[in-house]
Amino acid sequence: MKRLVIVRAQPAQWLVALLLSALGGCAGREPSGTFPTTSPPPISESGEMILPSRWWMTFEDPALDLQINQALGGSFTLAGALQRLEAARALTRREASDLRPDVNGIADIGSTFGPGNDQTTYAWGLEAAYQVDLWGAIESRVDAERLRAEATEADYYAVALTLSAEIARTWYSLIEAHAQLVLLDDQIDTNRTGQKLQEARFGLGLIRSADVLRQRQLVESTLEQVAIVEARIDLLEHQLAVLQGQMPQMAGFDPGSELPGLPPMPVTGLPSELLQRRPDVRRDYLAFIAADRDVASAVSSQYPRINLTGSLLNIAERPETLFRDWFVSIGGQLVAPLIDGGQRRAEVDRTSALVRQRFNEYGETMLTAFREVEDALARERFQLQRLGHLKTQVKLAQQSSDQLREQYLIGDTDYLSVLTAITAQQRLQRETLSAQLELVLIRISLYIALAGDFDTRPQDLQKSELTVELFPLETVIDE
């Protein structure tokens, strides 16, 4: 007997209907709930470039390829996700063993002491037991564990995607930090040159000491920014090393200071294709169907069951007659639950509630998948606009600074106005670099929102000119 669980959940029903039709119905049973058949609206934007499974290859950056390759081979997080998958598969095999008979070998020696002659009995042979799966309870339980193992596999790929994204974000953040250092070095040179000029003018009695002090303050402010960026570089290097399974205190990177250009916009595809690609959506879908199979098992456990037993034994009173007398026993047992204090009914209610919970988690994951794509598209569109405005501001700030210097030299303005213009110009230069990094990070978010499974085995890559010094944990431990 099979039981239909009706799930009443309003949000995103059309999304669920779409994926159910794409991935197949509820394993062996009618799907929980009734869903409308309307299709979701298309994704708002799309490009022309086909996104490869190894999404980071779109940047055409051998250094990034190397970093992600090392992480795939050394990450403890990814290795832990793989072991969770192995454990889930083993659990499925354990549950599947209940579909086959249990056969045990036995050997027994017993002695009786008392009035009369003492007696010793020798017995050995085989015993078998088998539960007939009349109502499919065991099969449903096995299906549930198999589906959960598949969900764990999807989660493994979700972890791999997250790891690759974290490596890319950290790597390009490290590059941007080095670019900030180069920019700050130029700004320090400019500000120190201005300090020398102001000190010389002060020595000639042309300006007040306050102008010199303000210029010195500007130099110190720029040096403060250097300290902040250098601290950020150290933290990013530590993070990147740990992501790759390395000791943070022994990692060194020389990533350069050039951020990559933005690759062409990828094809976003149809909503149904997005849902089928994303491992997190597949994971929650499989968890939902597995919970549905748990309900079937819980319902079936309320019905009578049949246990079959059999044995083949050899019993002897003396060792020399051990192989002479054989006994065969075959039996059957019908077990019908009568009074259990509501335990089985409560289990049905628990698993039914869990189906509804998994359904809502599944719907939320699908909505989140669409939101992440739309968010990344919107953020990239407006970030490009922001970058354009920032670059225009940098040009205007440069012009303003140059004009104010000229006016200051002829006495038409005070030095505070010049310092304000210089400070604004240098701040805008640093903000522009940060905005360029943010644009790259937004594109990474879009790739992750669109990406699916990829081959997680490390590739045989040749090291580029990038200098990377990583020391394996074994080396540290040996020392």
Distances in whole angstroms, Cα of residue 328 to Cα of each of 130, 311, 317, 325:
16, 6, 18, 10
pLDDT of res. 469: 40
Helix (H, G, I), strand (E, B) or coil at 7: coil
Distance CA 169, CA 446 (A): 12
Structure tokens given for 199: 């000190």
> Is pLDDT above 50 for 164?
yes
Q: Is 21 exposed, middle or buried (0-12, 13-18, 19+ CB in 10 A)?
A: middle
In DSSP terms, 469 is beta-bridged to 252
Give yes or no for a contact between 363 and 12, defined as CB atoms under 8 angstroms apart. Answer: yes
Taking the C-alpha atoms of residue 476 and residue 474, their distance in angstroms, rounded to an integer, is: 5
pLDDT value at residue 115? 67
Report pLDDT digits (tens) over 356-404.
Answer: 999 999 999 999 999 999 999 999 999 999 999 999 999 999 999 999 9
pLDDT tens profile 253-297: 889 999 999 999 999 999 989 999 999 999 999 999 999 999 999
| Beta carbons of 344 and 305 less than 8 angstroms apart | no
Task: List pLDDT tens digits, range 326-359.
Answer: 888 999 998 888 888 899 999 999 999 999 999 9
* Per-residue tokens: 275: 């849902």
pLDDT above 60 for 2 = no
- Going by C-alpha positions, the residue among 59, 179, 167 that lies closest to residue 431 is 179
Q: What is the DSSP letter of 56?
A: G
pLDDT at 162 over 90: yes
Residues 6+ apart with CB under 8 A from 124: 105, 106, 107, 108, 313, 314, 322
Are 207 and 198 spatial neighbours (Cβ–Cβ below 8 Å)?
yes
Q: Contact at 8 Å (CB) between 154 and 286?
A: yes
Q: Six-digit token pair at 217?
A: 């303050």
pLDDT band at 460; cut points 50, 70, 90: confident
Distance, in Å, from the CA atom of 309 to the CA atom of 328, rounded to the nearest integer, reads 11
**Tell me: the pLDDT tens digits for 301-311?**
999 999 999 99
Q: How far, in Å, CA of 254 to CA of 296, rounded?
A: 58
Residue 295 has a CB neighbour count (10 Å cut-off) of 26
Residue length of the chain: 479
Q: What is the pLDDT of residue 194?
A: 92
Question: Which amino acid makes up residue 395?
Answer: K
Which string of DSSP letters, residue by residue, matches 401-447? Answer: HHHHHHHHHTTSS-HHHHHHHHHHHHHHHHHHHHHHHHHHHHHHHHH
- Residue corresponding to tokens 């192989």: 323
Task: Dig out the tokens for 358 from the structure.
Answer: 């998994």
The DSSP call for residue 135 is S
Phi, psi of 315 (to 5 degrees): -125, 135
- Give the tokens for residue 440: 């790259």
40 close to 440: Cβ distance less than 8 angstroms:
no
Pair of tokens at residue 205: 């009695």
**pLDDT, tens digit (0-9, with 9 covering 90-100), for 193-228:** 999 998 998 998 888 899 899 999 999 999 999 999
Mind listing the domains of the chain with CATH numbers?
A: 13-99+136-301+349-478 (1.20.1600.10)
* Among the listed residues 287, 308, 259, the one whose alpha carbon sits nearest the alpha carbon of residue 357: 287
CA distances from 318 to 117, 178, 322 (A): 14, 88, 7
Decide: 326 and 313 in contact? Cβ < 8 Å. yes
How far apart are the C-alpha atoms of 155 and 280, rounded to whole Å? 6
Query: What DSSP character marks residue 253?
Result: E
